[in-house]
């Protein structure tokens, strides 16, 4: 994928560090020559299993805008911001763009607090600044000390680990609270769990917590697996049970998290959690006066 120019060579990460610079690692870049994007097939799925999805599903066309617009019917401003590129590299799965706009558009051009976990090469913070506008408080965290070079450009950057509870608390305090979290960090299942457990309680009511690249939940090298108890989607199912605590007698898995989760949305590799004040469900029956 590229965001500098549609016809530029595609830079894809090698399989060993398939998701970019996370957890102190920096992916090596390899050029993928432009060619027609392959249609999904059994062969493509087998290639993904062998090489990793980041390499197997890399965009090999020449028009990023057209690919996103034609496949997902999305033609919003965020598409133009992404496809036109920034001064620094930004890399996104194409189906994420309409999801970002669906869940983040209401925060545009207003004061709010946005935390991105995983700074990588700095381009994502540039994209969010252009998308959200000047009133947004934007912070990014990364364990890689080199990311400090992006501090103060499009947002504030703090160096530390996403599974360090004290570090996360300091960042949130400096921000004055958080309204939106985007977790694009190490993708290690223990980190994904820990970060959610620390930050979701600190999220403001009405806030949004998005985790991306959750295809890693099925990969052992990220601490997951299809049947693994550490697969984050198994945790998500327990959150669904807690949301429906009113209707069963099995108690709550996480009384510190579930009661304030008002909605869960699952997409390909993406989970979105809404936070709001909990109220017991109520129903009523109404009819116009004089009717029975």
Strand residue runs (E) in the chain: 10-13, 29-32, 113-117, 137-142, 156-159, 178-183, 203-211, 261-267, 270-275
Pair 162, 186: CB distance under 8 Å:
yes
pLDDT of residue 279: 85
| Cβ-proximal residues to 64 (8 Å cutoff; 6+ apart), any chain | 1, 2, 3, 6, 82, 83, 94
Q: Is the pTM of this model over 0.85?
A: no
pLDDT of residue 56: 83
- pLDDT tens, position by position, for the chain (292 residues)? 333 333 333 333 333 333 433 333 333 333 333 334 444 555 555 655 555 777 888 899 889 999 999 999 999 999 999 999 878 999 999 999 999 999 999 999 999 999 999 999 999 999 999 999 999 999 999 999 999 999 999 999 999 999 999 999 999 999 999 999 999 999 999 999 999 999 999 999 999 999 999 999 999 999 999 999 999 999 999 888 888 888 888 877 776 766 789 999 999 999 999 999 888 889 999 998 876 6
Residue of 187, 248, 267, 283 marked active site: 187
pLDDT of residue 46: 60
Q: Which long-range contacts (CB under 8 A, 24 or more apart) does 13-19 make?
A: 13/54, 13/55, 14/55, 15/51, 15/52, 15/54, 15/55, 18/52, 18/53, 18/54, 18/55, 19/54, 19/187, 19/213, 19/216
pLDDT of residue 53: 74
CA separation for the pair 62, 33 (Å, rounded): 10
Tokens of 134: 């000047």
Residue ranges per domain, the chain? Answer: 93-275
What does DSSP say about strands 113-117 and 137-142: parallel, antiparallel, or unpaired? parallel
H/E element, 281 = none
Active site residue 187: yes
Does the domain spanning 93-275 belong to CATH 3.40.50.300? Answer: no
CA separation for the pair 259, 280 (Å, rounded): 10
Q: Which long-range contacts (CB under 8 A, 24 or more apart) does 168-173 make?
A: 168/141, 168/195, 168/198, 168/199, 169/198, 169/202, 171/115, 171/139, 171/141, 172/115, 172/199, 172/202
Can you state the angle between helices 77-84 and 96-104, rounded to 10 degrees? 130
CA separation for the pair 223, 218 (Å, rounded): 8
CA separation for the pair 132, 114 (Å, rounded): 9
3-state DSSP assignment of residue 83: helix
CA separation for the pair 184, 229 (Å, rounded): 21
pLDDT of residue 291: 67
On the CB side of 57, CA atoms within 13 Å amount to: 17
């Amino acid at each position: 994928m590229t965001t500098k120019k549609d016809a530029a060579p595609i830079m894809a990460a090698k399989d060993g560090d398939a998701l970019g610079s996370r957890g102190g690692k920096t992916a090596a870049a390899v050029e993928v020559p432009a060619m027609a994007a392959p249609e999904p097939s059994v062969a493509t799925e087998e290639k993904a299993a062998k090489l990793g999805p980041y390499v197997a599903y890399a965009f090999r066309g020449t028009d990023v805008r057209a690919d996103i617009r034609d496949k997902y019917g999305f033609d919003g401003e965020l598409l133009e911001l992404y496809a036109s590129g920034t001064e620094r590299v930004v890399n996104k799965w194409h189906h994420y763009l309409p999801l970002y706009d669906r869940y983040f558009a209401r925060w545009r051009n207003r004061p709010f607090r946005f935390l991105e976990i995983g700074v990588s090469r700095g381009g994502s913070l540039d994209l969010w600044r252009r998308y959200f506008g000047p009133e947004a408080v934007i912070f990014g965290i990364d364990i890689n000390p080199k990311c400090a070079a992006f501090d103060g450009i499009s947002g504030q950057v703090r160096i530390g680990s996403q599974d360090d509870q004290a570090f996360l608390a300091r960042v949130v305090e400096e921000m004055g609270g958080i309204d939106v979290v985007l977790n694009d960090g190490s993708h290690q299942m223990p980190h994904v769990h820990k970060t959610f457990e620390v930050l979701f309680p600190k999220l403001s009511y009405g806030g949004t917590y998005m985790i991306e690249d959750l295809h890693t939940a099925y990969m052992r090298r990220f601490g997951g697996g299809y049947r693994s108890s550490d697969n984050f989607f198994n945790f998500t199912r327990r959150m669904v049970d807690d949301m429906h605590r009113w209707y069963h007698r099995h108690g709550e898995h996480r009384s510190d998290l579930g009661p304030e989760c008002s909605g869960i949305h699952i997409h390909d590799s993406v989970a979105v959690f809404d936070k709001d004040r909990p109220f017991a469900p109520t129903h009523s029956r109404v009819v116009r006066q004089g009717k029975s």
